[in-house]
Amino acid sequence: MVTTIERENMNFKRIVLAIVICGIQQIQGMSDQSILFSRAQELFSKQQYQDAFNVYQRMTDKEFVVLYNMSLCCLRQNKKTEALLFLKRAEKKAESYKELTLVQELIELNEYEELQDKNWYKQLAIFCKKSILATPILLFQALILIALIFLIICWHRQWYKKYFGSSILLLIVWLLLYSMWLYKIDYIQKKYAVVFQEEVPVFAGPHSSFNKKTDLHESQVVTVIDRRDDYFKIKLDNLIGWIDSYTVELV
């Protein structure tokens, strides 16, 4: 007859064995990913871009560098729409200003734009966007909380009467930080899609029987608001309508 202590020991051994097996599987998975990445890099260096893309595609953990390299493979084969799709996916994974800059430069190359030809305010807007997206959410939250605490103390102690200019400046800083945090949250939560057909009709409702509002064109990026059956509700600038989900690829 098995005692309670023996049963507990058996359960403990099973748990330890399960943890060890899980750890071995994770190590093996990381090793397989590393082998696939090295193989893809080798094929890319040999200008075998489609083969390299196929190997990258087999990787289960697609971080920024993998998605960025997949976009390069597409660009080398003049598949600009596919390249844009993987660039947008890489942008979602980017965690630093440098990575966001690499994405932006490739997007500009894909659109035949030169950064030096842009107006100064467009360059400033791009710089601000990359700076906000590269800043961790936790840092924004910490700065917003600290600034809010100072504002509360300032109001409670009525320091705003003595330091009116500084109080207004602190309020402006808090509003800017809060706006940047909202922008970052909105960017993370939004769903985007890339148009993959030459012309995609935009309907007033979630079916082709509704009136057509306009057409989208290949390589356009739209914001996906909602989905109903096989149709996406999308937004592009001031345009809101419905398109067939099979005509686009989600970022």
Residue-wise DSSP of the chain:
---HHHHHHHHHHHHHHHHHHHHHHHHHHHHHHHHHHHHHHHHHHTT-HHHHHHHHHH-SS--HHHHHHHHHHHHHTT-HHHHHHHHHHHHHH--SHHHHHHHHHHHHHHTT--GGGS-HHHHHHHHHHHHHHHS-HHHHHHHHHHHHHHHHHHHHTTGGGTSHHHHHHHHHHHHHHHHHHHHHHHHHH-EEEEE-SSEEEEESSSSTTSPEEEEEETT-EEEEEEEETTEEEEEETTEEEEEEGGGEEE-
Indicate the residue type of 81.
T
Q: Where are the domains of the chain?
A: 4-130, 136-179, 191-250
Indicate the residue type of 22.
C
User: What tokens were used for 137?
Assistant: 């959410």
Task: Say yes or no: do domains 4-130 and 191-250 share a fold.
Answer: no
Cα 86 from chain centroid (whole Å): 10
- Mind listing the pLDDT tens digit of every residue in the chain (251 residues)? 546 665 655 655 556 555 655 555 555 445 678 888 889 999 998 999 999 999 999 888 888 999 999 999 999 998 988 999 999 999 988 888 999 988 888 877 765 444 445 677 778 888 888 899 889 999 999 999 999 998 888 888 888 778 888 888 989 999 999 999 999 998 888 899 999 988 999 999 998 889 999 999 988 899 999 999 899 999 988 899 999 999 999 98
Distance separating alpha carbons of residues 135 and 120, to the nearest angstrom: 23
pLDDT at position 118 = 63
pLDDT at position 144 = 93
Instruction: Write the CATH number of the domain with boundaries 191-250.
Output: 2.30.30.40
Q: If you classify domain 4-130 with CATH, what class do you get?
A: mainly alpha
